[in-house]
């Protein structure tokens, strides 16, 4: 069937264009403001430091707290003599289920190897083979050994260590300032255009938890803003993401008028430690690399089921494995399956996966002798703020990199270990583009103006309700009825900053928990709207009422928040 929605059609969803927050009490200025301290944010800040006069790096917690630190498996790049960027490109396109932007993927795979070698030059220590070369392994969807890893299963932690060390080494440089414990609130914009849409990005408002001149709400003004705020894990009841992953960058970009895309494609990692139905928060990931080394999936009857599902069995793309596990759990009436790595040997497992081994041991599970209970949980967001090949969004002066961005690399489903590489490659590109534009005067310093539209604030107490609705609606397996229920429920969550209890007390006060919950609510709302609109199954979007992919839907679904609060959708063909 033909995709029914035309360009600029209303989704029926309305959202506020600003957060309810105090006016900024202080101001700091820079040529570029980078928000986030994962691999993308740290790389962008380091590259910009040598290219523009002044950089401000803002992070929600400590520098070392970005999502990158949790990455276990590794970083994918065609480094082996018998591998090639062309082969990496092909595997990425297959995993993306027809929705990758081939131009973006080509950039990723051709520039990736050089960027990884630069990481080594910055001090990252990868595991080495006996011949001294970087040791490479394989993960789901890859047809070659191209996953570089560090510390066995602590790749993200090592990359973060190396990049943070580079930042710390230049802390005293007057050309860079770091503000920790700072939550980005809204993207500041300049004068609106003749069409009434917001003007260029010219900074952000921040809330800093601290003391001295940089505490409370302030304004960080910049010629360019780079959003590298990570994922949306806390939209769901259970996720492998850290507590900071509340979709802040996506929500702030959306409120500023930037276009978001592919938001319906959520990757649920197939093998997350299952500890019971009531467990919430960040869950323990059992890396895909364990299956890459030969671990098998068994149902609760002890039957291996993946060979009957896909030719690559346990190493099929993640969406295939996650959906197969959910269906197998339904068939056996269980709430988990088993991961069996016992045949790989105790010595090998302790050496190759020390972090996973120790984390499982904390829960009384021995990876070397026990079956490990696992089930899918939210892991990665393939969509985000739509960018071009230089990280530029639809809003002039606003850039997005890493998981916050939708570069077109991942399409409908991210290929394993492409995420760290994407953050690395496109952060370099964004930094170079900003430097050129700052030098040429193409990104002038602007004074922010107040945007039209409503202000929103959702009570922190509503977060569990939002998470329940998101998990039941746009969860692992979706259908129209469930999505409509979720949309209706989300629309009923109070978002008015002026609402009060019967005794006159405010329903919510402007503070971190409320701002984060507002972001979670807005992201959950646009995610649900997009999932309801896409009437097919593809990659990380699986609908039981439309179980097959439809060629008419081989397009990117883009959403934009208009100044009047209306969310409109547009269909963009994929080449």
Distance CA 143, CA 148 (A): 15
- 404: which DSSP letter? G
| 292 DSSP β-pair partners | none
Classify the phi-psi angles of 568: left when phi > 0, otherwise alpha if psi is within -120 to 50, otherwise beta.
beta
Contacts with 362 (C-beta within 8 Å, 6 or more apart), sequence order = none
CA 74 to the chain's CA centroid? 16
Catalytic site includes residue 318:
yes
Helix or strand run (H / E) with residue 298: strand 296-298
H helix count then E strand count, the chain: 13, 24
Q: Which long-range contacts (CB under 8 A, 24 or more apart) does 324-327 make?
A: 325/270, 325/297, 325/374, 325/375, 325/376, 326/376, 326/476, 326/477
At residue 504, φ and ψ (nearest 5 deg) are 95, -10
Helix or strand run (H / E) with residue 422: helix 418-440
Distance CA 480, CA 489 (A): 14
Q: Identify the three-state secondary structure at position 457.
A: coil
Please give the angle made by the CA atoms of 312, 314 and 317, to the nearest 5 degrees: 65
Please give the angle made by the CA atoms of 495, 473 and 531, to the nearest 5 degrees: 90
Distance CA 267, CA 476 (A): 8
Among 18, 115, 161, 318, the active-site one is: 318
Q: Where are the beta strands (DSSP E) in 362-423?
A: 372-381, 384-386, 398-400, 405-406
Classify the phi-psi angles of 281: left when phi > 0, otherwise alpha if psi is within -120 to 50, otherwise beta.
left
| 35 DSSP β-pair partners | 58, 227
| 182 DSSP β-pair partners | 208
Distance CA 257, CA 201 (A): 10
Structure tokens at 448: 């922010």
Distance CA 305, CA 328 (A): 8
Q: Name the residues annotated as catalytic.
A: 318
């Amino acid at each position: 069937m033909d995709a029914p929605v035309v360009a600029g059609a209303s989704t029926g969803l309305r959202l506020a264009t600003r957060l309810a927050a105090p006016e900024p009490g202080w101001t700091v200025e820079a040529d570029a403001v980078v928000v986030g301290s994962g691999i993308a944010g740290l790389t962008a800040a380091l590259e910009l430091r040598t290219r523009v006069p002044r950089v401000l790096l803002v992070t929600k917690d400590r520098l070392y707290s970005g999502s990158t630190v949790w990455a276990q498996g590794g970083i994918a790049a065609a480094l082996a003599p018998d591998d090639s960027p062309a082969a990496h490109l092909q595997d990425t396109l297959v995993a993306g289920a027809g929705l990758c932007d081939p131009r973006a993927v080509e950039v990723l795979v051709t520039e990736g190897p050089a960027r990884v070698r630069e990481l080594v030059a910055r001090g990252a220590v990868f595991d080495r083979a006996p011949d001294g070369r970087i040791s490479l392994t394989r993960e789901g969807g890859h047809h070659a050994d191209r996953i570089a890893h560090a510390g066995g299963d602590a790749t993200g932690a090592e990359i973060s260590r190396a990049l943070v060390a580079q930042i710390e080494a230049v802390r005293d440089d007057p050309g860079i300032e770091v503000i920790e414990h700072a939550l980005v609130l809204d993207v500041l914009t300049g004068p609106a255009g003749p069409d009434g849409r917001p003007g260029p990005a010219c900074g952000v408002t921040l809330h800093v938890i601290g003391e001295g001149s940089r505490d409370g709400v302030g304004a960080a003004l910049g010629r360019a803003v780079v959003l590298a705020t990570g994922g949306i894990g806390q939209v769901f009841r259970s996720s492998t993401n850290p507590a900071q992953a509340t979709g802040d960058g996506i929500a702030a970009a959306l409120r500023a008028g930037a276009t978001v895309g592919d938001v319906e494609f959520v990757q649920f990692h197939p093998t997350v430690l299952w500890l019971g139905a009531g467990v919430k928060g960040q869950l323990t990931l059992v890396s895909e690399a364990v299956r890459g080394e030969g671990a098998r999936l068994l149902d609760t009857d002890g039957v291996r089921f993946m060979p009957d599902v896909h030719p690559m069995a346990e190493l099929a793309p993640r969406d295939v494995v996650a959906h197969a596990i959910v269906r197998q759990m339904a068939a056996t009436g269980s709430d988990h399956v088993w991961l069996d790595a016992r045949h790989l040997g105790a010595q090998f497992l302790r050496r190759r996966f020390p972090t996973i081994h120790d984390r499982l041991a904390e829960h009384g599970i021995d990876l070397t002798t026990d079956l490990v209970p696992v089930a899918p949980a939210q892991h990665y967001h393939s969509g985000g703020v739509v960018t071009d090949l230089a990280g530029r969004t639809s809003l002039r002066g606003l850039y997005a990199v890493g998981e916050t961005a939708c570069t077109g690399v991942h399409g409908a489903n991210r290929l394993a270990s492409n995420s760290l590489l994407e953050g690395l490659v496109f952060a370099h590109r964004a930094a170079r583009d900003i430097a050129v534009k700052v030098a040429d005067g193409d990104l002038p310093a602007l004074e922010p103006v107040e945007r039209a539209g409503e202000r929103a604030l959702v009570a922190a107490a509503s977060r569990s309700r939002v998470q329940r609705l998101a998990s039941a609606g746009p969860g692992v397996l979706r259908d129209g009825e469930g999505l409509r229920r979720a949309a209706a429920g989300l629309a009923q969550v109070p978002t008015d900053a002026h609402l009060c209890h019967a005794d006159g007390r405010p329903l919510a006060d402007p503070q971190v928990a409320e701002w984060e919950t507002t972001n979670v609510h807005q992201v959950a709302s646009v995610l649900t709207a997009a999932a309801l609109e896409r009437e097919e199954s593809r990659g990380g979007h699986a609908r039981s009422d439309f179980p097959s992919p439809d060629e008419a839907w081989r397009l990117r679904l883009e959403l934009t928040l208009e100044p009047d609060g209306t969310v409109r959708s547009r269909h963009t063909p994929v080449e």
